[in-house]
Amino acid sequence: MTVSREVELSGHIIDSGMMQSCFGVIMDLGGSFEVDEFDIGRSEVEESYARLTVLADTEDELQSIVHELHQNGATPSHPVDATLEPAPGDQVVPSGFYSTTNHHTEIRHDGEWIPVKRIEMDCAVVVEKGEDDEPCAYTKVLNAIEEGELVVTGETGIRVRPPERPRNREGAFGFMQGGVSSERPSESTIAKVAEAIAETKREGGSVLAVCGPALIHSGARESLARLVREGYVDMLSAGNGFAVHDLERDLYGTSLGMNTETLDHPRKGHKHHIYTISEIIRAGSIEQAVDEGLVESGVMYECIDNDRPFVLAGSIRDDGPLPDTITDSVDAQNAIREQAHEADMVLMLSTLLHSVAVGNCLPSSTRVVCVDINPATVTQLLDRGSAQAVGMVTDIGTFVPMLVEQLLDE
Amino acid sequence: MTVSREVELSGHIIDSGMMQSCFGVIMDLGGSFEVDEFDIGRSEVEESYARLTVLADTEDELQSIVHELHQNGATPSHPVDATLEPAPGDQVVPSGFYSTTNHHTEIRHDGEWIPVKRIEMDCAVVVEKGEDDEPCAYTKVLNAIEEGELVVTGETGIRVRPPERPRNREGAFGFMQGGVSSERPSESTIAKVAEAIAETKREGGSVLAVCGPALIHSGARESLARLVREGYVDMLSAGNGFAVHDLERDLYGTSLGMNTETLDHPRKGHKHHIYTISEIIRAGSIEQAVDEGLVESGVMYECIDNDRPFVLAGSIRDDGPLPDTITDSVDAQNAIREQAHEADMVLMLSTLLHSVAVGNCLPSSTRVVCVDINPATVTQLLDRGSAQAVGMVTDIGTFVPMLVEQLLDE
Amino acid sequence: MTVSREVELSGHIIDSGMMQSCFGVIMDLGGSFEVDEFDIGRSEVEESYARLTVLADTEDELQSIVHELHQNGATPSHPVDATLEPAPGDQVVPSGFYSTTNHHTEIRHDGEWIPVKRIEMDCAVVVEKGEDDEPCAYTKVLNAIEEGELVVTGETGIRVRPPERPRNREGAFGFMQGGVSSERPSESTIAKVAEAIAETKREGGSVLAVCGPALIHSGARESLARLVREGYVDMLSAGNGFAVHDLERDLYGTSLGMNTETLDHPRKGHKHHIYTISEIIRAGSIEQAVDEGLVESGVMYECIDNDRPFVLAGSIRDDGPLPDTITDSVDAQNAIREQAHEADMVLMLSTLLHSVAVGNCLPSSTRVVCVDINPATVTQLLDRGSAQAVGMVTDIGTFVPMLVEQLLDE
Amino acid sequence: MTVSREVELSGHIIDSGMMQSCFGVIMDLGGSFEVDEFDIGRSEVEESYARLTVLADTEDELQSIVHELHQNGATPSHPVDATLEPAPGDQVVPSGFYSTTNHHTEIRHDGEWIPVKRIEMDCAVVVEKGEDDEPCAYTKVLNAIEEGELVVTGETGIRVRPPERPRNREGAFGFMQGGVSSERPSESTIAKVAEAIAETKREGGSVLAVCGPALIHSGARESLARLVREGYVDMLSAGNGFAVHDLERDLYGTSLGMNTETLDHPRKGHKHHIYTISEIIRAGSIEQAVDEGLVESGVMYECIDNDRPFVLAGSIRDDGPLPDTITDSVDAQNAIREQAHEADMVLMLSTLLHSVAVGNCLPSSTRVVCVDINPATVTQLLDRGSAQAVGMVTDIGTFVPMLVEQLLDE
């Protein structure tokens, strides 16, 4: 027995790789296809259109193929409404729920295509009446699903549009397509990143910096503080450790016991670290420590002084933690989610854990620059990214100062 | 002006490196020394004794030298009692508190040396009357300190004994001293690790496995499940992701969408992952899912079925999480701390975050084997370890099956 | 001014990614295009055909676009003969010479398409009369070009066919497309590699093993020796160091001074290494050392005993070298080239330098399996590969024994 | 049966770790010891002296212990002359030959201690009459040994002095003891390296730069060229690829086809690379290409223009090679050896192969700075180094420009 389904693709389906992926999916999953119609865009600015019949041996196989085709942007030819089923319990999704990608998505409801709001991958889509009594669709993470909410199931009535390849290479983000490399010219690449930040700010966008402790150890603290002060970083996402190292530098002139300027006393002493936390707990919070004049410089200081919101997320390897640190991982994830959805550009600076957490919440349309000295980290982060993501394998301790030089000193 | 202090070292102070470290500390920190007395052990089984006068230009410098000497095992010659000061507030330590190492430590109280219990690094030492009205000293992490508790401050009245080099290389743990390498003979090294596990079990010890999700992806799930079932793993410490991957394999035959046996369908689908969490939430907990017959195999199944306690700690990058996952990082850390203090041997298997969290709580006398394909992870974990720690750079997907073969099939 | 050129693509131009690459090339290099004709294959077994007009602002830009399109498989619509120019000197190519890819290539000569022999990348193509007086085209490396030889220049009259995506995933080499990962199931992947080796041997093919010294240090020597003896490895390519370590194990039971079985005496002694070389020099060659009974086991022994040819290439970091080692890098490269062209399957085992050297000489149709514990090495090697290349990040010390188990013990 | 030998240690035997190593060696190799005499230096500037009796079960074991003790600086108490035996053939050492360390070494000949010249590890020591008829000892690599030369065998009459820990941390090279880390403050560390180069030049020393191709790709070419021009780099050691990339940048403005300034045209084209080699071959050599005005800038240009000697060593992965490249690995090694012995400071910049080759020839007293983005490379290079070696994990593309800024612009 052979079963079949008709699907369509439209847009820049060749150069975005969409068509190749779809053909690949069908063959990989053991199906076959016939091309029923194909209108190729006559030039690089015209869109193309393809209609295929996908064939498989069993309905199961067909479903799994069609599922993957969906994820890659194909849609059924004769759209029907998306299927909605009530969640059987809090945090429990109906069987066959639709799990989102991080691409722009629409669902069909009462014969109309409506966009899914707050795009984020691995979520369910919930449909409800909005304030204006119009139906409204948005993503919800599993742990926020409530019993009875109407959740999209199956594959029908959903369309996904993967990001297209930029039509030219002029924009700041055209510059590094084709993967990560430690062998690109570092200074020129940093100049391009500076350009992209400046462009984002000119357009009124918001820049989120996601920071790991290596940034402090490697001596880039003053440079990052300056970016916060001068308004090139609008929000900060980090862990408890990052904040403590930054504050320790202010209180004791050391980071994990080392003076990052003179390199003196590189003993393994951890005492300043614990003292710092103790002092901030005594003050009540980082803000109160700044207010009472205890903390007078650094990244956290500039965030407080210039009203840049920050999220400090706790982890099981923390000391302390600081009073400002959100220790519950679900609460912390929700705070990170808010930041991620507000950001127009994200700088991921030497932290795998926090970058993954932020990246999980980002739609594929957000610009991402990921910097780490470990190529595996950069690759892992970009793999979940989009055409908008740029990776750079370099030393964060030289990257941030050079970025500041490009943005502020020239 | 020159200030001085007399310190003593005793034990195997030469071959343990203690004396070299102490001389190094003094010179690195700008001090000088005179050797007042030196009795060298006449053979490798006899201990040595040294008495030094340490000199520095300022009291501050001297303090910082003496602090480091302490960490390396030197003690003042004319011991006085440890200084105790009440904590000025909850989670606030008195100024100058003593921050612990992970080595065996004693403090002097009312003229007697008493051992510090629950040794763990970067903690405070609290002294109180025990049940028998005897004074009792133990470590406390910063966030557990309560106002008014008597906390050890300064450096006097404290002695630390770093672990000594094993006197021979016969034991299972004598085999890999001198660092980490990916160029050691893999099969022979695995045989030694098997020996060490068997030895620990013969001595009635308890083995804690700290596991990352790569263990499941790389196909080692069935082998680890067997070690749990056969009693070679007594406790498990992992993250939410590890448990979900393990359960997904049982429920859907996949791990992150890939069938780990046939390698079929290596699509990036994440749906089974979310379904799995949803199903366990519906059941109420992993235990209930096992009880109702939903889950019938795997690592988590064997833990439930054989009553091996596990701790699942949450993180900001989790999906779900499962009902069993401890989402608050302080609570999770405390649960991990309990496990760490009960373990006689710890296997750190392909997870940096959880291994660091467990490692932070371990005394330097606990045997640790750390296995990861990334040499940087192994190095980072061993750096905080002791003479008891062994690192191996290998593929977890071949390591665990070969370990099982050594332990069970021969 | 706008200049244009017409090019054609044919074959599985969508799912192989050829069409996407070509569109990308044009846009990246600042050109534009019009699709003049497009016949899509109606199913996955039918080929497609496209004819494009490529436009650019200057002839220079157009040339550079057309150059890249060539490399990706596009050909001019109205083919003319390839241009031939005599080499102006030994080792000097005519200006504008055509530099080869590693894909199947044909050139048009006297109106006929003739295949280019000995496909290898970064070479020139030389055309001459063959033995039968028929024109014959083959690749030549720069240093072999002789004055007066007719070298192909420009882009006309050349067509390149990049490898197509396998039409199904059934074959042993369908199993790991989509990149390198350390998180694949290791045992199952090794089983697939074993299958591919067995398949190659069943088809009468030749297997070349490219080996690094880590193979010996990690204890896989006996397993590899067995593969040589049993006929699963037909040729060996390695460096001086590999052979010395292998022979040292036979002569002294150590590898760089360590007994790889008992792990005894892990001293840094290098003396056995130098002795081994000295002994082989005394004997005259490895073969003579085997003949006189000096060497009685190991990989090199099995090569001699079973008549498997080997190439040992020298490097500036060698001790010795052995009399068998080819110290001139051009001579060594030529010897490697011979091996590479004879091989139907290549196992690259833990050596970056030698794997790159072999890989440089391989046509993209040769099956390659690359195994290394360092993901960067695997990625770098596969990047120059083809759809036929498979990467695995694992421990060579467990990989080879498990491979032997799969091939020989089951 | 127990056999024994008396050995002595003198110097800063505790803080250099010499005594600890010796005790460790004895225990690791299954021996035991008695301390017969021990005079500890009373302060950090006084030397210590120890005399031990080493015991073992067999003469073989004792020999192997005494061998290792030698390598670590212990000497027999009652010195006799070194044993000399004639080499039995060209490139063949007498059985039991003494294999050198990279530390300062003396041998006893006719009752006198004479220093071994041209210290280098893994060599034999040859003694002959010097020009003045005085006996003279120097190292010889295996392949230079000639039949009949008198080679030192056994362990007697040899003393080795491992480098001592610097007595203070003031010098430029005191700054980074205690291992490699990517988490040190990058700008401050670069300042220290600049200081060390300046110091070396002020003292009339010679700086050798060992360079990998990543230096060119990452955009640091102009900065390095400036260091050569301004006299901060006196000699260059590199591979064929480095020189070709540097020259390609001059001839075509690209490096492997990419414009390193504008980042334009990042196609994988390799053609400019081959052209460059072809052009230099046509000119005859790099020097002739400079003379005829073909090459007008870059690192190689500055070497020619400022008369800085360079060694280009061939490898099996080279294209070409250039006429200047030494293709025979033994000849290349000898040329590298000359450079290594003349250098007072060596900068190893992003190349493992060439750095190992140079490092193999260095005495442990030469200052070495090793910079690479891969921590494994840095660790591997420093492991063979000395207290004089400093490692830095950073991006070569930002390191060199920042170094120039420190040395030249301030």
Q: Is the pLDDT of residue A171 over 60?
A: no
Residues C339 and C206 placed together within one structural domain of the fold: yes
pLDDT of amino acid D106: 94
Inter-chain touch A165–C27, beta carbons under 8 Å: yes
- Tell me whether residues C17 and A19 touch, CB distance under 8 A: no
* Residue for token pair 């001579």: C331
Q: Which residue has the tokens 């894909």?
A: C103
Out of B34, B50, B376, the one facing D375 most closely (by C-beta) is B376
Q: Nearest CA to B101 among D308, D301, C113, A269?
A: A269
- Domain assignment present for residue B398? The answer is yes
3-state class (DSSP) for residue C46: coil
Predicted confidence (pLDDT) at residue C291 exceeds the cutoff of 70: yes
**What are B254-270's pLDDT values in tens digits?**
766 565 555 544 344 57
pLDDT for C389 equals: 81
> Using the beta-carbon criterion (under 8 Å), do A188 and D399 form an inter-chain contact?
no
For residues B1 and B138, membership in a common domain is answered with no
In the predicted structure, residue C72 carries a pLDDT above the cut 70? yes
Q: Is residue B174 domain-resident?
A: no
Distance from A346 to chain D by nearest Cα, in Å? 22
Q: pLDDT tens digit string along B341-368?
A: 999 999 999 999 999 999 999 998 899 9
Out of B117, B142, B165, pick the residue that ends a domain: B165
The CA distances from residue B224 to B193, B220, B241, B293, in Å, are: 15, 6, 16, 21
Nearest to B28 among D32, D42, D169 (CB): D169
Same domain, D85 and D222: no
Which parts of chain D register pLDDT below 70? 164-184, 255-269, 385-387, 410
Question: How many Cβ atoms sit within 10 Å of the Cβ of residue D358?
Answer: 28
pLDDT band at B84 (very low <50, low <70, confident <90, very high): very high
Rounded to a whole number of angstroms, the distance from the CA of B383 to the nearest CA of chain D is: 11
Burial grade of A131 (CB within 10 A; 0-12, 13-18, 19 or more):
exposed
One-letter identity of residue B404:
V
DSSP C88-100: SBTTBPPTTBPPP
Do C128 and C237 have their domain in common?
Answer: no
Question: CB of B353 within 8 A of CB of A316?
Answer: yes
Residue A171 placed within a domain: no
Q: Which runs of E-coded beta strand occur in A179-234?
A: 207-211
* Rounded CA separation B15/C361 (Å): 53
**How far is the CA of D201 from the CAs of C304, D194, D197, in angstroms?**
54, 11, 6
The answer for C270, left when phi > 0, alpha when psi is -120 to 50, beta otherwise, is: alpha
Question: Out of A404-408, B21-25, B119-123, C335-339, which region has the weakest mean confidence (pLDDT)?
Answer: B21-25
- Pick the residue with more confidence: B220 or C66? B220
Q: CA-to-CA distance for A63 and A309, rounded, in angstroms?
A: 45
Report the CATH number at residue A130.
2.40.420.10
Q: Are residues D251 and D345 in the same domain?
A: yes
Burial bucket for residue D331 (CB in 10 Å: 0-12, 13-18, 19+)? middle
For residue C382, what pLDDT is reported?
A: 82
Give the pLDDT of residue B268: 43
What CATH number is given to the structural domain containing D306?
A: 3.40.50.10690
- The predicted pLDDT at position C169 comes to 47
- Please state which of the ranges A140-149, A164-173, B380-389, C74-83 shows the lowest mean pLDDT: A164-173
C333/D contact by beta carbon, under 8 A: yes
In this prediction, residues A268-282 reach a mean pLDDT of 84
For C186-214, b/e burial (b = at least 16 CB within 10 A) is bbbbbbbbbbbbeebbeeebebbbbbbbb
Residue D174 forms part of a structural domain: no
| Sheet with D32-39: strands ordered across | D32-39, D48-56, D3-11, D75-76
Q: B27 and D44 in contact by Cβ < 8 A?
A: yes
Q: Considering chain A, what is the average pLDDT of its residues?
A: 88
Instruction: Give the residue from D169, D180, D188 with the most A CB atoms within 10 Å of its CB, the best one to mutate.
Output: D188
Pair (D36, D92) in one structural domain: no
- A28: CATH: 3.30.70.2690
Residues of chain B contacting C397 with CB distance shorter than 8 Å = 184-187, 394
Burial class (CB in 10 A: 0-12, 13-18, 19+), C230: middle
Q: Are C336 and C362 in contact (CB under 8 A)?
A: no
C-alpha distances (whole Å) from C323 to each of C257, C280, C286, C287, D140 are 22, 7, 8, 10, 18
| C141 found inside a domain | yes
Residues A100, A54 share a domain: no
Asked, for residue C174, whether it belongs to a domain, the answer is no
> CA nearest C355: which of C316, C392, C381?
C381
Q: What is the pTM of this model?
A: 0.90
Residue where a domain stops, chosen among A77, A104, A134: A77
Structure-block tokens of residue D358: 């140079």
Q: What is the pLDDT of residue B385?
A: 64
Kindly state whether residues A60 and A188 are assigned to the same domain: no
B191 with B72, same domain?
no
* Cis? peptide before D266, omega within 30° of 0: no
pLDDT above 70: residue C59: yes
**Any CB–CB contact under 8 A between B57 and chain D?**
no
- pLDDT per residue over A177-216, tens digit each? 444 555 577 888 899 899 999 999 999 999 999 999 999 9
- ipTM for the predicted complex: 0.89
The number of domains in chain A is 3
Comparison of pLDDT for B37 and D284, the residue scoring more: D284
Is D27 in CB contact (< 8 Å) with chain C? no
SS3 content of chain A, % helix, strand, coil (to 5): 35, 25, 40
% of chain C residues with pLDDT over 90: 59
Judged by CB atoms closer than 8 Å, whether chains meet at B35 and D38 is answered as no
* β-pairing verdict for D389-393 and D367-372: parallel
**Interface size between B and C, measured as CB pairs under 8 A:** 111
**A372 min Cα distance to partner chain C (Å):** 15
More confidently predicted of D278 and A271: D278
Whether residues D350 and D283 fall in one domain: yes
Take residue D408 and report the two structure tokens written for it. 């030249």
How far does CA D388 lie from the centroid of its chain?
A: 11
Chain D residues within an 8 Å CB radius of C94: none
End-of-domain residue from the set A118, A141, A165:
A165
Domain of residue A346, residue span: 180-408
Q: Clarify whether residues D325 and D384 are in a common domain.
A: yes
Q: What is the mean pLDDT of residues A51-68?
A: 89
Give the tens place of pLDDT for each residue, A285-325: 999 999 999 999 999 999 999 999 999 999 999 999 999 99
Q: Is D171 on the interface with B (CB under 8 A)?
A: no
Q: What per-residue confidence (pLDDT) applies to D21?
A: 83
- Is residue A369 predicted with pLDDT exceeding 60? yes
- Based on the domain organization, do A334 and A231 belong to the same domain? yes
* pLDDT at residue B78, as a whole number: 82
The reply to whether A174 falls in a domain is: no
Closest C-alpha among D226, D296, D219 to residue D262: D219
Chains near C with 3+ CB pairs less than 8 A apart are A, B, D
Minimal C-alpha gap between A211 and chain D (Å): 14
Residue A180 confidence (pLDDT): 53
How near does any CA of chain B get to the CA of C350, in Å?
11
Buried b (16+ CB within 10 A) or exposed e, D25-48: bbbbbbbbbbbeebebbeebeeeb
pLDDT by residue (tens digit) across B155-167?
889 988 877 665 4
Rounded to the nearest integer, the mean pLDDT of chain D is 88
B157 part of a folded domain = yes
CB atoms within 10 A of CB D223: 23
- Cβ neighbours of D40 in B, within 8 Å: 35, 38, 50
Backbone angles phi, psi at B403, to 5 degrees: -65, -45
User: Lowest mean pLDDT: which of A215-224, B400-409, C154-163, D238-247?
Assistant: C154-163
* D positions 253-282 inside 8 Å of C (CB): 265-271, 273-275, 277-278, 281-282
Q: Which residue, chain included where needed, has tokens 């690592």?
A: B299
Q: Does C170 touch chain A (CB under 8 A)?
A: no
